[in-house]
Amino acid sequence: MARKAAPKVRAPARTTPARPRSGAALRKPVASRQVIKRVSPLNAIYRQGRFGADLPGGPGVRLALRHPVSIVTIIARKGKAKALSAAMKTAWGVDAPAPGHSASGRGGVTVHWCGADQYYAVADGLAEGALFDEATARFAGLASVSEQSHGRVILSLTGPAARHVLSKGTPVDLHPSVFTAGRCAVTQMAHVGAHVACTGSDAYEVSVFRGFAENFWEWLTEMALEFGYEVV
């Protein structure tokens, strides 16, 4: 009796994926861009409340973090200092400040002197990078502009003891007969390079590099203990 032949099993047909018609088909979808929220370097240790001595008149100093804030450094190029000052006048309504001075201009921009033909421009409420873009465009060919919004921290001190707290760390004479509103200085404070500006009666702002912010904050709050301080 003849055996029946085993049924033939066909292998599945090999399929070759179609080649993309252009290189664009090889690109993966790109997620939509998102603006990264800027976080203060003091985020982990900044706590609101009253600390230190409990004096009858209340806290001697109030501390606050100016955040977020736009900061750019503007350095005049060789031989362009006068032209830069004129451009600042056109842009913000103020000349480049004289050494040791600050000037408040249009659009909420304050310009601080911070060295020979060097300035900080500071403003609140602007979109990320807006102040840098404006300064870069307006001062093209006149100055080198650097974005410092992520690189520096600004702290404000107000109250009758604010000057006494800062005087513990700097040789700058902060007496109100000398260091009045609109004056500023570059100094060493608690072994940290700092820019200090008087913004009003018993009111100051101190700017330090981001990397020193925590150490400076710890020093500042320790110096304020005897006067009592409030973090707002």
pLDDT in tens, 157-195: 999 999 999 999 999 999 999 999 999 999 999 899 999
Distance CA(197)–CA(180), nearest Å, equals 9
**Taking Cα atoms as reference points, which of 50, 79, 6, 43 lies closest to residue 153?**
43
pLDDT above 90 (res 35): no
Q: Contact, 70 vs 123, CB < 8 A?
A: yes
pTM here? 0.83
Mean pLDDT of the chain: 90
Question: Does residue 101 carry a pLDDT above 70?
Answer: yes
Token pair for 176: 């109100």
Q: What is the pLDDT of residue 156?
A: 98
Tell me the mean pLDDT in the region 52-75: 96
Contact assessment for residue 161 and residue 221, using Cβ atoms and an 8 Å cutoff: no
Residue 37 — very low, low, confident or very high, per pLDDT cuts 50/70/90?
confident
Q: Where are the chain's structural domains?
A: 43-67+151-232, 69-148
Residues 128-145 have a mean pLDDT of 97
User: Residue 120 — very low, low, confident or very high, per pLDDT cuts 50/70/90?
Assistant: very high
Q: What is the fold of 43-67+151-232?
A: Gyrase A; domain 2 (3.30.1360)
Residue 17 CB: number of other CB atoms within 10 A? 5
Q: Which residue has the higher pLDDT, 134 or 9?
A: 134
The class of domain 69-148 in CATH terms is alpha beta
Higher pLDDT, 32 or 184: 184
Distances (CA, A) of 52 to 91, 106, 214, 224: 44, 39, 19, 7
| Predicted pLDDT at 23 | 45
Name which of 182, 66, 178 is nearest 113 in CA terms: 182
Residue 19 has a pLDDT of: 54
pLDDT at 27: 45
Q: Which residues make Cβ contacts (< 8 Å) with residue 175, sequence separation at least 6?
A: 163
**Res 22: pLDDT:** 47
Q: Give me the helices (H) in 117-212, please.
A: 130-138, 162-167
- What backbone torsions phi and psi does residue 222 show, to the nearest 5 degrees? -65, -40
State the Cα angle at 151 between 191 and 83, rounded to 5°. 100
Per-residue pLDDT at 11 exceeds 70: no
Question: Is a pLDDT exceeding 90 seen at residue 109?
Answer: yes
Residues 48-74, mean pLDDT to the nearest whole number:
96
Residue % of the chain over a pLDDT of 90: 83
**Mean pLDDT (whole number) for 32-43:** 75
